[in-house]
Amino acid sequence: MRSDRAFRSSSEGVAVPSILAVESISKNYGSAPVLDGLKFEQRPGEFLSIVGPSGCGKSTLLRCIASLMQPNSGSVRHKGNTFAEPPSWLSIVFQDYSRALFPWLTVRQNVAFGLHHIGSRERDERVQAAVQAVNLTHAIDLYPWQLSGGMQQRCSLARSIVVRPELLLLDEPFASVDAQTRIDLQDLVIDLSRRMNLSTLLVTHDVEEAVYMSDRIVVLSTRPARVVEEITVDLPYPRDQLATKETPDFLRLRHQVYTLIRAQAKSNNN
Amino acid sequence: MSRSWGTSALLWQLCLIGMLLAAWQVSATLWPAPYLPKLQTVLASFLNFFHGNLLFSAVLPSLYRFAIGFGVAVLLGSFIGLTLGYLRGLNEWVRPILEYLRFLPTVAILPAALLLFGATDGMRIFVIAFGSIFPVILAAMDGARRVDQVLIDVARVNGLTIPQRIFRVILPAVLPAIFAGIRIALSIALVMMVISELIAANDGLGHFILRSQRLFQTANVYAGVLLLGAIGFVLTACMLAIEGRFLAWYKGWRGAADAI
Amino acid sequence: MRTIAIIKGMAGFLAAIAVWELVRATGTIDSRSLPGIGAILQSMISGLATSDGLMPSVLATLRTWSMGLVIASILGTVVGVALALSPLVETVTRPIVEFLRPVPSVALIPVALLVLGIGLPMQLFMIVFAAIWPVIFSAKAGVEGVDPRQLETGRVFGLSRLASIWRIVLPAALPNIATGIRTASAIALVLTITVEMLVGRPGIGSFLENVRLNGLVTEMWSAIVLTGIVGYLVNGLFLMLEKRLIPWSAEHHV
Ligand SMILES: Nc1ncnc2c1ncn2[C@@H]1O[C@H](COP(=O)(O)OP(=O)(O)OP(=O)(O)O)[C@@H](O)[C@H]1O
Ligand SMILES: [Mg+2]
């Protein structure tokens, strides 16, 4: 494991270099503003969630962070440095999982997609390990269309972690799977990101999911997106779908975030 | 479908074919006419194609010109189409002229080709390639334009260079579209092969058929048509086999999408 | 938006013309074989204006073409629907269909000449033989794709078998059939011109053959360009008709 990521988010007071600093970025599509001076930071190893109303610009934000598109102003920094092309320390699970897998590749080949520069021996081992980590070993030689939605999403996840990123971006990864699958995937992602000491940036519009999974939550406004509030979630680990969600702290945080979101929706209707 | 239905279907099919052949033979015997040769003479003419002169003066020249013309259309057409499709902005500029050339009935360029190249093999190859290249170009172009942006994003995030993106993402994604174009091109190329030989050639199957017709060697005419049909059949079958091998994933994928 | 697209498309044509003139100017090809675009257009316009020459040829071609296409469309639809509705007929005739379909249609021209002579029936036979396949297969696919729930709905409303073919199966298959007819229209045009060229029946084909034999290069090019325009317009016309007459076709919503 990398030594520079030994510290956890709770090491307050010490000047920790942020793994990701989003510095007042703005983005327009044509003349329509989508992001409006967004600003926040993510500490190494932190699980950060972004919640915001549907269509407010969350995917656009992730594409700017991943350098898939350039913001009109502002910058994105990694440990103080800017970058122009999608960097190798970053990986992303796209919103629309059924379209993001290569239909002509099996699970094994899909997962191996980003390992083109690595020898075949090590590649096989790493693919096996990643597929195992998301419990897809039994389906490793199937094509995407032979998988259920949840399995497709786990395949995307494996493809993203197999490259051993420092920062994992997840764009509403559990949006269109059934409730039970969703719960399983949430626990899987918490577990993976803690085991691999990943910094994870999760975009979601599900308040409960954000509170349950995160160390911190950034709440966005309606389009054009601005940061409305940042909320620290200090729920203890390991988290448990029943026990954690029944604690007063969880309920209080959920209430707080939900109120903010609802206020956004109201201000939008006026 | 049950097994018994399968065998009985085969019986019915054989029955019908047998009846048609018998009807032909009977009328050829009872009412001899120049255009109704007996089946055994047609068969004898047909077998003549596979040995001696005819193989070299009719069959091989046709196949040779077809192979080059069609090959050029497929390779060059895919390349041009992919490039134009990849540069999405070009679409509106080039599409009208490409569609104009696509729907120009290719026979019409025969006189011009004759004028420019003379009655040469080069002329016939050009006509075959010209007729069949535009469906390939347009299909490849549309396919490349429709490649899902998300897939290209995945490639970029994984650090693929532009050539790698083309070979590992765009080409496989476009292959189904290219094959659809090639299927259209194949039948056009065959037609153009024959037309170019009907109108201006002194060898090849088209020339052979037309000459036989003028000499009232009707068995030869039918045998030639039979052989052209067989060639078309075999080429189509080969292409479907290649397609099935390369696009096994696509069938399943489409099937799954249709089931929703 | 629309006008910008048209302007860009025109620019594409202009670029092609520029290449043409460049080839002429550099002398890569003998300029006697390659007249200037201006001369070609002029010859085309005067050919269309006069009563002998290009105009009657175009009309003759279009007349034969439309007759052949109508026959192929009706016959093809009937055969396609029949094949789709009767598995028995479909199975029994399959070998014959598989045998006839891959024959390059033009190869049959000598056979048709033997049996039918050089008149209009022979030309129509060739057009129909070549153009009927896409109609048959698209009609068949269209009928096979009809949602069984729609047929059940028809049964619930007490439609007879014939009425349900007329009121449910055909409309549902119409978008497919229309696409098949559009494909057929291009094939029919090729066959019409080919037969004209080969046996000298009146039309663009024999016009082209005549001007070629008489060395009238500019007239030849103008006829070629015009043939392209006819092909392009025919396709455009069918696309437009599909959009107008079959608004429920899914193809236009993509
Ligand atoms: N390429 C584009 N051109 C123009 N507008 C776009 C483009 N992509 C997205 N938009 C618009 O920008 C806004 C933000 O889009 P984005 O996909 O970033 O939102 P989102 O928050 O991810 O939405 P969702 O919750 O539906 O995933 C939307 O209103 C969308 O319609
Ligand atoms: Mg989104």
Cβ distance B253 to A63 less than 8 Å, yes or no, reads: no
A96 lines ligand 1 (CB under 6 A): no
Q: How far is the CA of A55 from the centre of ligand 1 (A)?
A: 5
**Prediction ipTM score:** 0.90
Give the pLDDT of residue B1. Answer: 42
Q: How far is the CA of A51 from the centre of ligand 2 (A)?
A: 11
Which residues are within 8 A (CB) of B19 and not within 5 positions of it... i.e. 6 or more apart?
Answer: none
A54 lines ligand 1 (CB under 6 A): yes
Q: Identify which of B105, B213, B233 has the shortest CB distance to residue C190.
A: B105
Mean pLDDT of chain C: 89
B247-253: which pairs have CB atoms within 8 A and are 24 or more residues apart? B247/B175, B247/B176, B247/B179, B249/A103, B249/A104, B249/A105, B249/A143, B249/A145, B250/A103, B250/A104, B250/B175, B250/B176, B252/A143, B252/A145, B252/A146, B253/A103, B253/A143, B253/A144, B253/A145
Tell whether B45 lies on the interface with C, counting CB pairs under 8 A. no
* pLDDT of C201 strictly over 60: yes
The whole-angstrom distance between A61's CA and the closest CA on chain B is 14
Residues A66 and A198 in one domain: yes
Express as a percent the part of chain B with pLDDT over 90. 60
105-124 in C: which are within 8 Å (CB) of B?
A: 105-111, 113-115
Q: Whose CA is nearest to atom 28 of ligand 1?
A: A55
Bridge partner list, A21? A41, A77
* Poorest-pLDDT segment among A213-217, B97-101, B145-149: B145-149
Q: Whose CA is nearest to atom 2 of ligand 1?
A: A29
Residues A186 and A257 in one domain: yes
Q: Comparing B60 with A270, which gets the higher pLDDT?
A: B60
Give the pLDDT of residue C155. Answer: 79
Give the pLDDT of residue C168. Answer: 85
Tell whether C91 lies on the interface with B, counting CB pairs under 8 A. yes
- Across the range C206-232, mean pLDDT stands at 93
A60 lines ligand 1 (CB under 6 A): yes
Cβ distance A113 to B154 less than 8 Å, yes or no, reads: yes
Residues A175 and A261 in one domain: yes
Q: Which amino acid is at A77?
A: R
The Cα A226–Cα C251 span in angstroms is: 41
Which chains form contacts with chain B, at 3 or more CB pairs under 8 Å? Answer: A, C
* Residue A254 zone, left/alpha/beta (φ > 0; ψ -120 to 50; rest): alpha
Residues A18 and A118 in one domain: no
Mean pLDDT of chain A: 88
**Closest-CA residue to B114 (of C150, C217, C226, C78):** C217
Domains in chain A, number: 2
Q: What residue spans define the domains of chain C? A: 54-253
Q: How many inter-chain contacts (B to C, CB under 8 Å) are there? A: 161
In which residue are the tokens 């699980």 written? A47
The best mutation among A38, A58, A264 to test binding of ligand 1, ranked by most ligand atoms within 8 Å of the C-beta, falls on A58
Residues A194 and A249 in one domain: yes
The whole-angstrom distance between C58's CA and the closest CA on chain B is 13
Which residues are within 8 A (CB) of A134 and not within 5 positions of it... i.e. 6 or more apart?
Answer: A154, A155, A157, A158, A188, A192
Give the pLDDT of residue A191. Answer: 92
* pLDDT of B95 strictly over 70: yes
* Poorest-pLDDT segment among A264-268, C33-37, C82-86, C185-189: A264-268
A10 lines ligand 1 (CB under 6 A): no
**Ligand showing the shortest atom-to-Cα distance for residue A52:** 1
pLDDT tens for residues A207-224? 999 999 999 999 999 888
Question: B60-86 vs B121-145: helix axis angle to the nearest 10?
Answer: 30
The Cα C16–Cα C27 span in angstroms is: 17
pLDDT tens for residues B234-251? 999 999 999 888 887 777
**Ligand showing the shortest atom-to-Cα distance for residue A55:** 1
The Cα C116–Cα C96 span in angstroms is: 22
Q: Which amino acid is at B170?
A: I
**3-class secondary structure, A24:** strand
* pLDDT of A1 strictly over 50: no
> CA B105 from chain center: how many Å?
16
Tell whether C194 lies on the interface with B, counting CB pairs under 8 A. yes
* Helical H segments across C50-119, by residue range: 54-85, 87-100, 109-116
- Across the range C47-63, mean pLDDT stands at 89
Q: How many CB atoms lie within 10 A of CB B120?
A: 13
Task: Flag whether A touches B (3+ CB pairs, 8 A cutoff).
Answer: yes
Nearest-atom index, ligand 1, CA of A57: 18
Express as a percent the part of chain C with pLDDT over 90. 59
pLDDT tens for residues A128-178? 999 999 999 999 999 998 998 889 999 999 999 999 999 999 999 888 788
Question: B218-246 vs B248-259: helix axis angle to the nearest 10?
Answer: 70
Q: How far is the CA of A99 from the centre of ligand 2 (A)?
A: 14
DSSP state of B106: G
* pLDDT of A15 strictly over 70: no
By CA distance, what is B147's nearest residue in A? A99
Give the pLDDT of residue C131. Answer: 96
pLDDT band with cut points at 50, 70 and 90 for residue C251: low
By CA distance, what is C133's nearest residue in B? B187
Token couple for A180: 């039970």
Residues A27 and A112 in one domain: no
pLDDT tens for residues A104-118? 999 999 999 989 888
By CA distance, what is C95's nearest residue in B? B13
Cβ distance B154 to A94 less than 8 Å, yes or no, reads: yes
- Across the range C83-93, mean pLDDT stands at 88
The Cα A223–Cα A36 span in angstroms is: 8
Tell whether B63 lies on the interface with C, counting CB pairs under 8 A. no
What number does CATH give the domain B39-259? 1.10.3720.10
Give the pLDDT of residue A2. Answer: 38
Residues A179 and A230 in one domain: yes
By CA distance, what is A105's nearest residue in B? B249
Tell whether A165 lies on the interface with B, counting CB pairs under 8 A. no
Cβ distance B159 to A145 less than 8 Å, yes or no, reads: no
Distances (CA, A) of B221 to A60, B37, C84: 67, 10, 34
The whole-angstrom distance between B142's CA and the closest CA on chain A is 18
Q: Whose CA is nearest to atom 29 of ligand 1?
A: A55
Cβ distance B250 to A104 less than 8 Å, yes or no, reads: yes
Q: What residue spans define the domains of chain B? A: 39-259
pLDDT band with cut points at 50, 70 and 90 for residue B154: very high
Give one DSSP letter per residue of B52-72, joined into a string. Answer: SHHIIIIIHHHHHHHHHHHHH
Residues A62 and A173 in one domain: yes
pTM equals 0.86
Give the pLDDT of residue A16. Answer: 66
Cβ distance A145 to B255 less than 8 Å, yes or no, reads: yes
Range of the domain at A106: 98-164
Tell whether B107 lies on the interface with C, counting CB pairs under 8 A. yes
pLDDT tens for residues A226-267? 999 999 999 988 899 888 999 999 999 999 999 998 888 777
pLDDT band with cut points at 50, 70 and 90 for residue C220: very high
**Closest-CA residue to A47 (of A23, A65, A20):** A20
Q: What are phi and psi of C5, to 5 degrees?
A: -60, -40
CATH superfamily of C54-253: MetI-like (1.10.3720.10)
Give the pLDDT of residue A113. Answer: 92
Q: Comparing A197 with C53, which gets the higher pLDDT?
A: A197
**Ligand showing the shortest atom-to-Cα distance for residue A206:** 1
Give the pLDDT of residue C250. Answer: 59
The best mutation among A25, A29, A171 to test binding of ligand 1, ranked by most ligand atoms within 8 Å of the C-beta, falls on A29
CB C182 within 8 A of CB C233: no
**Closest-CA residue to B47 (of B257, B230, B255, B227):** B227
Among A70, A105, A145, A155, the residue to mutate for chain B (most B Cβ within 10 A): A145
* Cis, peptide link before residue A238, omega less than 30° from 0: yes
A119-123, B197-201, C23-27 — which one is most confidently predicted on average?
A: A119-123
The whole-angstrom distance between A34's CA and the closest CA on chain B is 20
* End position of a domain, from candidates A108, A130, A164: A164
